[in-house]
Structures are given as C-alpha cells and as structure tokens.
Amino acid sequence: MNALATILVGLTLWLGQIQPTAANPQAGKIDGARSTITVRVYKSGFLSAFGHDHEIQAPIESGEVKGADSPSVELRAAAHKLPVLDPEASEKTRAQIQETMEGDKVLDVTRFPEIHFQSASVEAKGSDHWIVRGTLALHSKERPVTVDVTLKGGHYRGSATLKQSDFGITRSRSPVGP
C-alpha cells in the first residue's frame, strides 16, 4: 500500500439513548436524536505533515440493539448528513472540506447514500465492556470492523479504526479535503 495515501479513520460511537423493548430492557431502538458517530480522519504516511486531521459527526438515522440470547447491533447513517466539525477551521474552509467529502472523489453521497453497520458477534469482556465484530458497508464496499464498546453513565461508547482505502475512498488532492 502506498504510505502517502494511508489515512486512518477513528470512529467513536455515542449511543445517547436506547428505547427498551418490553421483552428485553437492555435491548431496543437507538434514539437517533441523542446518538451520533464521530469520525476523526487522521493523516499518516510520509507527507502527513502537509495534510489535515478532520472531525465529522454522523447522526444515526436508525439502529437497534438486541440483547439476551443473541446480542446484536445495527446502525444506519445517511452519508449526506455528515457535517464537518473541524472547530479550528474557518467557516469557509469547513464548507470546502464538506463539498470535497460529499463529492465523487471521496464519499460520493449521490451514488452511495447510506452507511450501514451490522454486527456478526458480540463478545462480553466484562460487565460493561464488549467487543463487537461486524460488517461496515460504506461507499459500495463491505468490510469487517471490530468495535470496542463500553457502557458508562448509561451511554454506550465504541471505537474502531479503519482505513479509507479499504472502502475504495482515495485521499482528496485538495489541500483542505479529507
């Protein structure tokens, strides 16, 4: 792999609220109004000093957590609803990054409107810690992803590291792009 094109994406999942079901109080629909995925895009490789890190928020469109005998997690996010946060960038720069990210060189939100994660297994690592393995569908590619999940203060928090190139996303040639 070309080290110049390697960009790591760190995902942080914040599930603010799960609306429990009567059958299982630890399972239910994810409250999208209170739940987000934060994506941090980090530069790496030989020329990383010339790139920029980015922070993007992905509101969860829908999702469900199932517990008990067959635990699972499913999440869906709309690719066109991912605002670039980059708090240190100017409004103009954020708008340029947003345009580049949504365009055909990166996410291509017109052709690939949905981001989807479906777990395949949930392994308990303690009372409030799990390893969730599943498939992430992004940019027409499906790849295995492992998410380290903890429960703290009634909120689930998970993190995973991905490479954009695994999903067919190439680094933007724009000096401000993702």
- Please count the residues of the chain: 178
What pLDDT score does 4 carry?
30
Tell me whether residue 46 is in a domain: yes
Sole residue written with tokens 């390893």 = 131
pLDDT (mean) for 134-144: 93
173 part of a folded domain? no
Q: Is residue 103 part of a domain?
A: yes
Give the model confidence (pLDDT) of 151-169 as tens digits.
877 777 888 888 888 888 8
| pLDDT at residue number 1 | 30
pLDDT at 14 (0 to 100): 53
Q: Which residue type occupies 41?
A: V
Average pLDDT of the segment spanning 23-43: 69
DSSP state at residue 57: E
Q: Give residue 49's pLDDT.
A: 42
Q: What is the mean pLDDT of residues 86-113?
A: 90
pTM: 0.78
Residue 178 within any structural domain of the chain: no
Cα distance between residue 175 and residue 20, in whole Å = 45
- Asked if residue 176 is part of any domain, the answer here is no
What is the percent of the chain with per-residue pLDDT over 70, rounded to a whole number? 73
For residue 169, give both structure tokens. Answer: 């996303």
Give the distance between the most distant pair of CA atoms in the chain. 54
Res 29: pLDDT: 76
Q: How far apart are CA 38 and CA 84, in angstroms?
A: 10
Please, what is the average pLDDT of the chain? 76
Q: What ranges make up the beta strands (E) of 7-59?
A: 7-15, 18-20, 28-30, 35-43, 54-59
Residue 51 CA to residue 43 CA, distance in Å, equals: 6
> Is the Cβ–Cβ distance between 27 and 168 less than 8 Å?
no
Domain CATH number, residue 14: 2.40.128.110
- Give the span between the Cα atoms of 100 and 164, in whole angstroms: 15
For residue 168, what pLDDT is reported? 85
Token pair belonging to 21: 């079901």
Residue 177 lies in a domain: no
pLDDT at position 109 is: 93
The Cα 175–Cα 158 span in angstroms is 30
**Across 102-127, average pLDDT:** 91
**Beta-sheet pairing, 7-15 with 54-59:** unpaired
Is residue 90 a part of any domain in this protein? yes
Q: Tell me the residue range of the domain where 85 lies.
A: 3-167
Q: Residue 99 falls within a domain, yes or no?
A: yes
Looking at the structure of the chain, the number of domains it has is 1
The confidence score (pLDDT) of residue 144 equals 95
From the list 167, 138, 171, 160, the residue with the least C-alpha distance to 7 is 171
* Banded pLDDT at 116 (limits 50, 70, 90): very high
